[in-house]
């Protein structure tokens, strides 16, 4: 093979990978470019070009697929590069959470092979769900139906907005009080409700109490931030640690023995907790990411 034949074979491989309407123009441009490159290389090496020199030049230039990609217009980007890390974190966290909830069955005697071909592989639905949502958003954006817009955010993200903070604190306190009173409320409900919402006594005795301590700590921390009017790095980190503790606690509840005596109620409660756990994992991941990406306001950099 002479140098021209090597270049021609390379150009043809590239042309097969580009749109038909652009092949002639791309082929002519690429032939001229490669011929000039080979001429410069032969001049630098002070010897006539041969097939070995041509082949070495083309391998350094890129494979036909790589070169063709330089001529093709960019396609629809499903997951933008800046969102790849978050996608990976959410995918792995969702799989890990589902495995953490199902692996206790292996400790109870379920064969590991049965677990893998059951709950183990079933957990992979979560990355597929995230990918389908990303594909839907990318399709809408490509069709022009959805166009992200920028809106200004609060320059100082650590400042506490009193209205929403007070409403959130009151809601958190009311929810905690309701959950603490629920075992007693269930006993005074009419009809079949006491039997439906009867808590397992072992759950109340051994696994429920950490939630009370975490609720008290979380409410106290939010009240402290509200009183000071801003969050600090320390309180943000404490909030993240408490969120992680709640996630671990929910995983313990889901993977442990019964929460409610009635089987249907217990399964429904654990399913709801699993959803809350996934949401909490996603929220914690976003919180950690934002904390790492946060820059100090200009007025505080002096």
pLDDT band of 298, cuts 50, 70, 90: very low
Model pLDDT for residues 239-292, shown as the tens digit of each residue: 889 999 999 999 999 988 999 999 889 888 888 888 888 888 888 888 787 766
Kindly tell me the sign of the dihedral angle through the C-alpha atoms of 279, 282, 288, 292: negative
Backbone angles phi, psi at 131, to 5 degrees: -65, -40
Buried b (16+ CB within 10 A) or exposed e, 179-188: eeeeeeebee
Q: Residue 150 has what pLDDT?
A: 54
In angstroms, how far apart are the furthest CA atoms of the chain?
99
Q: Residue 302 has what pLDDT?
A: 43
Q: Residue 155 has what pLDDT?
A: 57
Q: How many CA atoms lie within 13 A of 291 on its CB side?
A: 16
Closest CA to 153 of 6, 297, 301: 297
Q: What is the mean pLDDT of the chain?
A: 85
**With left for phi above 0 and alpha for psi between -120 and 50, is residue 62 left, alpha or beta?**
left
Residue 140 has pLDDT above 70, yes or no: yes
pLDDT band of 152, cuts 50, 70, 90: low
Lowest mean pLDDT among 5-14, 76-85, 128-137: 76-85
Backbone angles phi, psi at 260, to 5 degrees: -110, 155
Residue 24 has pLDDT above 70, yes or no: yes
Complete DSSP assignment for 128-187? HHHHHHHHHHHHHHHHTS---------S-TTBPPHHHHHHHHHHHHHHHHHHHHHHHHHH
Residue 182 has pLDDT above 60, yes or no: yes
pLDDT band of 300, cuts 50, 70, 90: very low
């Amino acid at each position: 093979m002479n140098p021209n034949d090597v270049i021609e074979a390379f150009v043809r491989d590239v042309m097969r990978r580009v749109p038909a309407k652009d092949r002639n123009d791309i082929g002519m441009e690429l032939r001229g470019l490669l011929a000039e490159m080979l001429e410069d290389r032969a001049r630098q090496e002070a010897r006539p070009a041969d097939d070995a020199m041509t082949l070495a030049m083309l391998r350094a230039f890129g494979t036909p697929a790589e070169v063709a990609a330089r001529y093709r217009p960019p396609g629809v980007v499903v997951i933008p590069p800046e969102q790849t890390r978050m996608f990976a974190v959410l995918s792995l966290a969702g799989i890990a959470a589902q495995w953490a909830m199902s692996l206790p069955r292996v400790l109870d005697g379920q064969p590991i092979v049965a677990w893998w071909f059951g709950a183990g592989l079933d957990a992979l639905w979560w990355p597929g769900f995230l990918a389908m949502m990303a594909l839907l958003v990318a399709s809408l954006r490509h069709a022009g139906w959805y166009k992200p817009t920028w809106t200004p955010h609060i320059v100082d993200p650590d400042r506490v907005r009193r209205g929403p903070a007070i409403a959130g604190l009151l809601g958190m306190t009311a929810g905690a009080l309701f959950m603490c009173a629920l075992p007693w409320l269930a006993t005074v409900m009419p009809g079949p409700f006491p039997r439906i919402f009867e808590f397992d006594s072992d759950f109340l005795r051994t696994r429920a109490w950490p939630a009370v301590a975490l609720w008290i700590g979380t409410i106290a921390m939010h009240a402290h931030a509200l009183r000071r009017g801003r969050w600090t790095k320390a309180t943000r980190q404490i909030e993240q640690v408490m969120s992680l503790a709640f996630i671990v606690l929910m995983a313990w509840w889901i993977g442990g023995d019964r929460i409610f005596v009635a089987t249907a109620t217990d399964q429904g409660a654990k399913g709801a907790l699993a959803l809350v756990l996934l949401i909490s994992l996603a929220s914690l991941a976003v919180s950690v990411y934002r904390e790492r990406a946060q820059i100090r306001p200009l007025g505080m950099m002096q």
